[in-house]
Each structure stands twice: as C-alpha cells, then as structure tokens.
Amino acid sequence: MKEEKARASARVDGRGPGDGRAFIGMPAFPEAAAEAVGNDTLRANLRHATRTIRDKRAVAVAELDDWAELREAGKQIKDRTLHRLDHYLVQLEESVTAAGGTVHWAADAAEANRIVADLVKATGESEVVKVKSMATQEIGLNEALEAEGITAYETDLAELIVQLGEDRPSHILVPAIHRNRGEIRDIFRSEMGKWGRPAPEGLGDSPAELAEAARLHLREKFLRAKVGISGANFMVAETGTLVVVESEGNGRMCLTLPETLISVVGIEKVVPTWRDLEVFLQTLPRSSTAERMNPYTSMWTGTSDDDGPSDFHLVLLDNGRTDVLADEVGRQTLRCIRCSACLNVCPVYERAGGHAYGSVYPGPIGAVLTPQLRGTTSEIDASLPYASTLCGACYDVCPVAIDIPEVLVHLREKVADRGGRGHRLEKAAVKAAGWVLDRPGVLAAGERVAARTRGLHPGRLPGASGWTDSRDLPRMPAEPFRDWWRKNRS
Ligand code: SF4
C-alpha cells in the first residue's frame, strides 16, 4: 500500500517509475523492509533467485586457482586509477575525440539529462532504444526525456518487464528479480500492446515463450531506432574504447544499429589500459551471472565510416562521485563493477528485497553508495547505513574487495554525528565513562556508592526506554567485585 502511495506521489511529482528520483519520498529502510518482509510471494521469489545465483557463482569462482590474485589485482587497478582519476579521464577524452567521438562533462543529473535531451532533439528523433544502464537510471533519464517528448524504450528483458509493469528495479543485474514467471506473463499480456507489438495470443509462462514474446516486441524497435543510449561497464583510457558486458544481445543491437549512439557513464568506470580490462573481464562474469566468459561483450572506439553509429557522444557523469572520492574510507565504493554478488549473499537483501533501499542501487552496495551520492539528509538515505547486520558476506564475495562493513560503520558514524539530543547525551556519557575508567580510585568509590544505593536504582533508564523497556537491567551486586576479592582471595 505504501509502495503504491510512493509510486502515486512520484507520478504526481512528474517522475515516473524506474526513475532514480521516483524513490524520493519513500519511507526509511526499517519501515519499507518491514512491509516487504510481510509479502510471502516477494520473499519466495527473492529466496529462490538469490540462492540459485549465489550457489552458481560459488562454483564458477571455485574453478579458478588464482581467484584471490585476480581479486587483489582488480582492487589495486581500481585504487591506482582512482588515485589519478583526473589524469586518466583527460587521457580518455583525448582518445575518444581522436577516434571521432565527442565528450561531454556532466557535473550532475540535471546537466547530464539536458545534454542527452539536446543531443536527441538535434537528430529530430522522438524515440530512443536503451541498453540497460545504472547511470541513466540514477539520473532519471527516461523521465527527463519523456518531459521533452522523447520516448525511451528499455531493451534488456528485465528492464522491459520493469518498464511495462510501471515498476521500479529491485536488483542491479536482475531488475525484475521480485517478479515470478506468472506475473511477467500477465504484464506482457496486458501491457505490451500499449507500447508496440502485443504479446502473442495465448502466451504462457515458460521462459522460452516469454523470451520470444520480448524478442518479437523489441525487434521492431531495434530496426526502427535512429538513436541508441547506453552506459558502459568500462572505458579504456589508452584507446578511448567503451565496453558493454551483457547477456542477451539487446545491447549489441542498440550499440550497432542506430545512427547516433549516446553513452552516459560514471567517471569511475575508466581503466587505464587493455591489460587492466583483462582482469575485470574474468572477474565480472563469474561474479554476476556465474559464467566463465560473458556472452556479449561489445567494444567500440569512436566512430567508423563502414560500420556502427556514425555519431558517438560520451557523457561523463560526476553526480557526487568526486565527493565520494574525497572521503578516505568511502572512496573504495568507487571500485564497484556492479556485479551484484553482494546482493545475492546478503541476508538482509534476501528478506527485504531491493525496493526497500529506496534507490536504483539496492543491497549492500546501495547501502554505502546511495548515502554517499545523495547525502544523508533524507530519512531513507540516513537509514541505509543501518540496513545491514555487518556479517561481512558482501566483503567476502566482492571481486574488487570493497570492505562494505567498514564503509557502513563509517557512514553510521557520520549519520550519528549529525544526530540530535539523544546522540549528544550518549557521547557525553561515553566521555564521562572514559574519564572514570582512567581513574581506578574514582571507579572503586563509584562502585561502592552504586552497590549501597542499589535498592534505589530504577528499572528503566530515562531517555533509553527503547532499550530498557524490552530488557531487564542487571541487578547490582551487594558489594563490588574488588571488595569481594580482597575479602576472599587476598
Ligand atoms: S560492491 Fe563488490 S560485490 Fe557488490 S556489486 Fe560492487 S563489485 Fe559487486
């Protein structure tokens, strides 16, 4: 019900589902998660899907004797690149320009959306096809284009399900992971005809039938589109090459058939050389889809007279990333290659689902990335660093060794530091306790006073009733341990 309200208010605000901004106004994580946990179908869908991917990933990773070395290499390449990000971005710009592309710099979502909308309008087109892209979801590109009279068609199967169902993505890799086959069949039957070619008569819910329906629906869009929009998994600075890693072939269609290609990519996606890329092309498929080698890896460098788009634009997106880079603990978040392995092992994600995180980045990575990109001023963003048990499973599987629990604790400290009276009292109490514990004589005197007045101690602590209402305060002993020891053991 609350989800419906959030969706409705997003529409009233002129923001549609699937828009990164559509999550704004959602309740804080504990409230949203509590509602999701009560949804048996959602939990069953998530449990089945995450456990299946998790087990397959473990097998795929165990096949490699040098997995630990690859993981360490990935971490070091990312850290080295982030350390000199300005240098590699300028090198990338020079390479892309030399290869016939045009580079645009976007400081925030509004600027990126403006650039893309202007580029599409300059072509005279009112439709674009899209490759699945987290960056364009983050900035709410589809809705920004819609406001300009441009329709964006998602072509990834899961993104198509989300778009047709007027839903929001709930997983980085499998955005419709919260849907089962029956639900998808119903969405296709009722919605496909409103967007183009309708679902075939008598559509069933077998994977083959659903995939065929999507294929037929999308094909006419691929063949008609003059403008394609993508993100990129990697950008190679030394040659200006962009790389998209996907499993369905829809990306290959969007990247090669249209005359104009616009790629919106976060600045942290740059890698210096092809040797560096080699590491990630081994770790990403095994971590995300448990494949030894990715099915469709598309790479392009500028434009070519004979093949592919004749006009290529790269929009380099900051949108808070340089602020993340400035944070010594938080900057490791920018190593993320969006494999989603951390989501699939997270006990909190498995139960709460992706929508509860109030962002296009759900799960453990979302709990650390979103509050850094958006700040912690809203209730939902301030609650995200607490959306974890700190069990560390996310760190164990991360192919670039992001210590997510460390960043979570760091962000909790930041949120708490901005806290209200309760937090100030807690800090004062800890400071006073430190002073007493530093002085054994004062501590001993305090213990004796506490023991003699134990009959007067309250059962509840004022200001901490949230804690003491559901827990018994331990009863103070009649004499301090140090006095007992002196009498009985000295
Ligand atoms: S944080 Fe690590 S495990 Fe999670 S999506 Fe990013 S790279 Fe993958």
Q: Ligand 1 pocket, 398 CB below 6 A?
A: yes
The answer, yes or no, to whether residue 132 has pLDDT greater than 50, is yes
86 CA distance to ligand 1 middle (Å): 23
Q: Give me the mean pLDDT over the 141-152 stretch.
A: 97
pLDDT of residue 421: 66
Q: Give me the mean pLDDT over the 192-214 stretch.
A: 95
**pLDDT tens digit sequence for 30-70:** 999 998 899 998 899 889 999 999 999 999 999 999 999 99
**pLDDT tens digit sequence for 259-287:** 999 999 999 999 999 999 999 999 999 99
Q: Ligand 1 pocket, 341 CB below 6 A?
A: yes
Ligand 1 atom nearest to CA at 172: 5
**pLDDT tens digit sequence for 70-118:** 999 999 999 999 999 999 999 999 999 999 999 999 999 999 999 999 9
Pocket test for ligand 1, best of 70, 286, 337 (most atoms within 8 A of CB): 337
pLDDT of residue 8: 35
Window from 44-58, 92-106, 329-343, 419-433 with minimum mean pLDDT: 419-433
Q: Ligand 1 pocket, 401 CB below 6 A?
A: no
Q: Ligand 1 pocket, 397 CB below 6 A?
A: yes
Q: Which amino acid is at 482?
A: R
Query: What is the C-alpha separation between 466 and 279, in angstroms, rounded?
Result: 49
Of all residues in the chain, what percent are helix, strand and coil, respectively (each to 5)?
60, 10, 35
Name which residue leads in pLDDT, 6 or 115.
Answer: 115
Q: Ligand 1 pocket, 339 CB below 6 A?
A: yes
Q: Which residues lie across from 228 on neighbouring strands?
A: 129, 261
**pLDDT tens digit sequence for 306-322:** 889 999 999 999 999 99
Contacts of residue 350, Cβ cutoff 8 Å, sequence gap at least 6 = 46, 47, 50, 51
**pLDDT tens digit sequence for 461-480:** 776 777 788 888 788 899 99
**Which CATH superfamily hosts domain 2-321?**
NagB/RpiA/CoA transferase-like (3.40.50.10420)
Q: Give me the mean pLDDT over the 357-373 stretch.
A: 96
In angstroms, the Cα distances linking 64 to 43, 60, 332 are 32, 8, 25
pLDDT of residue 174: 85
367 CA distance to ligand 1 middle (Å): 12
Q: Give me the mean pLDDT over the 285-307 stretch.
A: 94
Q: Residue 154, SS3? A: strand
| Residue 136: pLDDT band with limits 50, 70, 90 | very high
Pocket test for ligand 1, best of 348, 365, 404 (most atoms within 8 A of CB): 365
Q: Give me the mean pLDDT over the 171-177 stretch.
A: 87
**pLDDT tens digit sequence for 449-462:** 999 999 888 877 77
Please give the structure tokens belonging to residue 240. 């200006």
Pairing relationship of beta strands 260-266 and 227-230 according to DSSP bridges? parallel
Q: Which amino acid is at 49?
A: A
pLDDT of residue 13: 34
Q: Ligand 1 pocket, 73 CB below 6 A?
A: no
Q: Give me the mean pLDDT over the 157-180 stretch.
A: 90
The answer, yes or no, to whether residue 18 has pLDDT greater than 60, is no
Query: What is the C-alpha separation between 29 and 387, in angstroms, rounded?
Result: 7
339 CA distance to ligand 1 middle (Å): 5
The answer, yes or no, to whether residue 420 has pLDDT greater than 80, is no
| Residue 16: pLDDT band with limits 50, 70, 90 | very low
- Domain ranges (residues) in the chain: 2-321, 433-488
Q: Ligand 1 pocket, 346 CB below 6 A?
A: no
| Residue 481: pLDDT band with limits 50, 70, 90 | very high
First-last CA distance in the chain = 67
Contacts of residue 58, Cβ cutoff 8 Å, sequence gap at least 6 = none
| Residue 123: pLDDT band with limits 50, 70, 90 | very high
59 CA distance to ligand 1 middle (Å): 18
pLDDT of residue 2: 38
The answer, yes or no, to whether residue 224 has pLDDT greater than 90, is yes
Nearest in space to 230 (alpha carbons), one of 122, 156, 318: 156
Q: Give me the mean pLDDT over the 156-168 stretch.
A: 93
Q: Ligand 1 pocket, 367 CB below 6 A?
A: no
| Residue 370: pLDDT band with limits 50, 70, 90 | very high
pLDDT of residue 298: 97
Share the mean pLDDT of the chain.
91
The answer, yes or no, to whether residue 5 has pLDDT greater than 60, is no
pLDDT of residue 3: 41
Name which residue leads in pLDDT, 490 or 241.
Answer: 241
What pTM, to 2 d.p., does this model score? Answer: 0.85
pLDDT > 90 fraction of the chain, expressed in percent and rounded: 78
pLDDT of residue 422: 66
The sheet with strand 260-266 has its strands ordered as: 102-106, 311-317, 260-266, 227-230, 127-130, 151-154
337 CA distance to ligand 1 middle (Å): 6
Q: Ligand 1 pocket, 316 CB below 6 A?
A: no
The answer, yes or no, to whether residue 210 has pLDDT greater than 90, is yes
398 CA distance to ligand 1 middle (Å): 5
pLDDT of residue 25: 65
Ligand 1 atom nearest to CA at 365: 1
Q: Residue 312, SS3? A: strand
Q: Give me the mean pLDDT over the 383-403 stretch.
A: 97
Q: Are 270 and 94 in contact (CB under 8 A)?
A: no
